[in-house]
Amino acid sequence: MLFNRLRIERVMEEHEIDALVATTPENVAYLTGFWTLTSLRHRARQNYAVIGRREMIPDMIISRGLVDQPLQENCRVGQFYIYGEFYFAPGIPDGLDEESKNLFRTLESLPPHKNAVEALIHCLRDRGLTQGCIGVDQGSDILFLGEVLERSLPGLKTKPAYDLFREVRIIKTPAEVQRIQGATKVAERALSEAIKAIGEGVSEKELALLFKATVIRQGGIPTIECVGGGPRGAFPSVEPSGRKIRRGDLVRFDVGCLWNAYHADIARTAVLGPPDPKQAKYHEALVAGEGRILDSLKPGVSVADLFAMGMKEARERGIPHYQRHHLGHGNGIEGYDLPLISPDNKRELEPGMVFCVEAPYYEPGFGGLQIEDIVEITAQGYRRLTQLERKLFIV
């Protein structure tokens, strides 16, 4: 089970809601375990999940043409509500194995609804949720879903719930941490291959393609492939180009992937040939700033204090003019989960939080440097999920 049952119950109680309706692919996956690239590609084709305060097995609203996937995956769903049309040719009974026969029997037994909203309303009625208040995740709300539900069920009130889902997800379950660690390993292997491939005349695009290919070979999906050589490394979201790496160039990698619905986001910097004094000094300052944060990670520490410590260390260790708006972010089923390591975030660390600690530097005309690691807060302190050395890689 991916979701944190106790936190869901607590959030519902605090906000006086009887159920949560997930609409984004990420939040549907969080509740049901069902995730597919199709949901990301076709966000307008809505899938929903509904979970009540006391009935902690979710129901799912999904299109008829997609329901076979969660059925095959044995997702944790109480009842499926399907909608839309999908046609199969007349079958050949002898051509089906027993598993396929059972799947098609289940599929054919599900009554179809005209559209996703109609199926959702039917689900709410079945659950007795026609009165009271429910939270509706508005992250993918192209239909103003809360308003539609209130018009269709006059006794029902709705509250926006996207931020409530983010609040629930801020503490990861062991199953989530396991998936994040898997994604991290995939990204690290791919990044290591790309770093080893750096050479004079090799292009940014070639390095990025190698990273992506290595991610895909491991069953992941590339999500970030910022590879900037020389001065181009100063572009924060650099699009890899045909520019070839030259001796003395810094190469900044900010890369990531999806694996089993969860994200990894990591960064390292390499240099082709011996680094010059400025390159070495600035990278050491960033490593020190990130390291100061890592050394301070434990339950009860304020996120704002972490930001202040990291900035102070980086400035004192070699970049006195260093400026940042944040030094990291949560990581999970979304690439930017809570918390954000920012100067105004007074939230205290708790066991189960997982986030990226990063220290990037972008200087036009000089280049970019960056280090980024994924960590889990534990009862005793923290655990670093990334295993790559925290150094300037000299190729």
Q: Which residues lie below 8 Å from residue 264, measured CB to CB, with a gap of 6+?
A: 180, 183, 184, 186, 187, 188, 256, 257, 331, 374
The pLDDT value given to residue 82: 95
The pLDDT value given to residue 267: 98
269 and 250 Cβ atoms separated by less than 8 Å? yes
- Cβ-in-10-Å burial (0-12, 13-18, 19+) of 87 comes to exposed
65, amino acid identity: G
Q: Report the DSSP pairing between strands 48-52 and 19-22.
A: antiparallel
Q: What are the angstrom distances between the C-alpha of 246 and each of 192, 228, 231, 261?
A: 19, 12, 11, 37
The pLDDT value given to residue 108: 85
Residues 224 and 127: their CA atoms lie apart, in Å, by 41
The pLDDT value given to residue 143: 67
Q: What are the angstrom distances between the C-alpha of 390 and each of 221, 265, 267, 289?
A: 25, 15, 10, 12
376 and 369 Cβ atoms separated by less than 8 Å? no
3-state secondary structure 280-330: HHHHHHHHHHHHHHHHCCCCCCEHHHHHHHHHHHHHHCCCCCCCCCCCEEE
Residues 303 and 295: their CA atoms lie apart, in Å, by 13
Distance from chain centroid for Cα 177: 12
Q: Which domains does the chain have, with CATH numbers?
A: 5-169 (3.40.350.10), 174-394 (3.90.230.10)
Assessment of whether the complete model's pTM goes beyond 0.75? yes
- Cβ-in-10-Å burial (0-12, 13-18, 19+) of 133 comes to middle
- Among 165, 324, 339, 176, CA closest to 264: 176
Q: Which residues lie below 8 Å from residue 391, measured CB to CB, with a gap of 6+?
A: 287
Residues 45 and 239: their CA atoms lie apart, in Å, by 30
DSSP 232: G
The pLDDT value given to residue 66: 87
Block means of pLDDT (10 residues each) for the chain, 395 residues, are 91 96 94 83 76 89 90 90 86 77 85 94 96 90 83 95 96 97 98 98 98 98 97 96 97 98 97 98 98 98 98 98 97 95 97 98 97 97 97 98
Q: Is 58 left (phi over 0), alpha (psi -120 to 50) or beta?
A: beta
* H or E element that contains 32: helix 25-32
Judged by DSSP in three states, 158 sits in strand
Phi, psi of 76 (to 5 degrees): -80, 85
The pLDDT value given to residue 273: 97
